[in-house]
Amino acid sequence: MPLLYRSLDNASGLTSNPALAQTRFVSGKDLFAGFDYPKGAPQRCAGNVTTNCLKANQNAAPVHIPITWSSQTDALFLGAAFFKTNHDLSYAKANLVFKLGGAESFTIPPGMHLVEVADAITGSRYGTVERDGAPLDSTPAIRSIGLANSYSLMTQNPALCPLPDALALLGYQCLDAAEANNPAILKDRSEYWSKGFQNSIRDLDLMRLVYRAYGKAF
């Protein structure tokens, strides 16, 4: 997720101008020696790291930059369909989603674990795999299932506070004390979160279908 922070001027003084550091998914130096592009997000100052880093008063925080659903689906389709040069399926595997308990299930290999979400309406369970010790939201599939689980939690308990991290990063806030004890508001919020959950399940089904079509070398 991109990082937003307050920038510094040429004298290292704090300004009110925002700066944005994009997440680096692929580094040029992994492919060509010395080609360090794009630049990675700056580190936070801590311990021995005191220069060329983000200071506490720069208020660095993750930022959610939404894009249209059609842009997301186009990126998923084009990436899975055409990032297969030399049979490299790493992009497709990062978007791997499958239904558990059927023909799509498989044995999870050593060093990896299952991450899943259940659809309470249909009874279907959607899963993906993640490497043990992987960082937070290590793949689009992990992030999508985590978001679905967050919506599910809020559907069941719309007064839940603090909010799941995935929703807090989207800018949602907890209900206040009066709202959390108002049955009408709780019903309305539960229905709202339920729609978000259903949209998440739709996205997972799309990822499933794209992987089934383009997730294999032949």
Domains of the chain, by residue range, sit at 3-62, 69-214
- Placement of tokens 């004390």 in the chain: 177
Residue-level pLDDT at 29: 84
Tell me the chain's radius of gyration from C-alpha atoms: 20
Q: Per-residue DSSP letters for the chain?
A: --EEEEEE-TTS-EEEEEEEE---SS-GGGTSTT---SPPPPEEPBTTB-SSEE-GGG--EE------HHHHHHHHHHHHHH--GGG--HHHHHT--EETTSTT--PPPTTEEEEEEE-TTT--EEEEEEETTPPTT-SHHHHHHHHHHHHHHHHH-TT-SSPPHHHHTTT-----HHHHT-HHHHHHHHHHHHHHHHHHHHHHHHHHHHHHHHSS--
Residue-level pLDDT at 130: 94
Residue-level pLDDT at 52: 83
* Token code pair at residue 118: 């259940």
pLDDT under 70: residue ranges of the chain: 1, 64, 66-68, 83-88, 217-218
pLDDT tens-digit profile of 132-180?
A: 999 888 899 999 999 999 999 999 999 999 999 989 878 788 999 999 9
Residue-level pLDDT at 217: 59
* Token code pair at residue 21: 């550091």
